[in-house]
Amino acid sequence: MDERRTQLIGTALGLFAHNPPEDVSLDDVAATAGVSRPLVYRYFPGGKQQLYEAALRSAADELEQCFAEAQTGPLTRRLVRALERYLAFVDQHDAGFMALLQGGSVVQTSRTHAIVDEVRRAAADQILFHLGYQPGGQVAGPRLRMTVSTWITVVEAASLMWLDQDKQPPVNELRDWLLDHFVALLMASATRDAETARIVRHALDLEEGDGPVGELARRMLPVVGDKGHLLDVPGKA
């Protein structure tokens, strides 16, 4: 009984992943699963909307698994691995991911929005966990939380642009670019927030010279090379 339900959700997820929800009918799900339409309705009396939400729920659980990562080694290495799993998920659920996040889709309700928000919150909690905030322990301050949430938004937006541009640039470039942006946003926030500065300084201690932060710093030098006038404190200061 539950096995059949799981099978139908899996079928629906496959169809919703690569087709806009308005192009997926309950007949498609029944035909692809090799069952009758009434049988689909027996498990999902709410029809397509209920099946969509069950598929989304299942995708959300899978996505949250992507973020799990051991608490050892440089933070950027952990983040690279989580990003790779996330971007593989985006690659595998391309049309569904776009339909879900671009809005305007017929199946969007306050419930689907709540599921998406839950995934965002799980991602933020996971990043804060790796930055040293245990669940149930000390809570991160508003500026640090805002920085982390902002970066998650950047990841989502960049993933949508990437799909819209026929998955260009190559996924590894997108991953490195997102990682650079994580470092850049966190460093910029650290300059205005003592808590973020403390977290960043601790994270930098774990980084290696040949890791992404060291490489970013070295690549930055020629960009700012001869702009020393920006570091001179002006006479009026």
Asked if 154 touches a copy of itself (CB under 8 A), the answer is yes
Helix (H) or strand (E) holding 67: none
- Binding to a copy of itself by CB under 8 A, coded x per residue (else -) over 180-219, reads xx-xxx-xxxxxx----x--xx--xx-xxxxx-xx-xxxx
Helix (H) or strand (E) holding 55: helix 47-66
Classify residue 2 by burial, with Cβ atoms within 10 Å: 0-12, 13-18, 19+: exposed
Asked if 77 touches a copy of itself (CB under 8 A), the answer is no
Q: Cβ contacts of residue 148 below 8 Å, gap of 6+?
A: 124, 127, 128, 131, 140
- Point out which span in 33-41, 64-72, 86-94, 170-178 binds a copy of itself (CB under 8 A): 170-178
Q: Would you say 40 or 179 has its CB closer to a copy of itself?
A: 179
Which chain residues interact with a copy of itself by CB under 8 A?
Answer: 102-104, 108-110, 112-113, 142-143, 146, 149-150, 153-154, 157-158, 161, 165, 168-169, 173, 176-177, 180-181, 183-185, 187-192, 197, 200-201, 204-205, 207-211, 213-214, 216-220, 222-224, 227, 229-234, 236-237
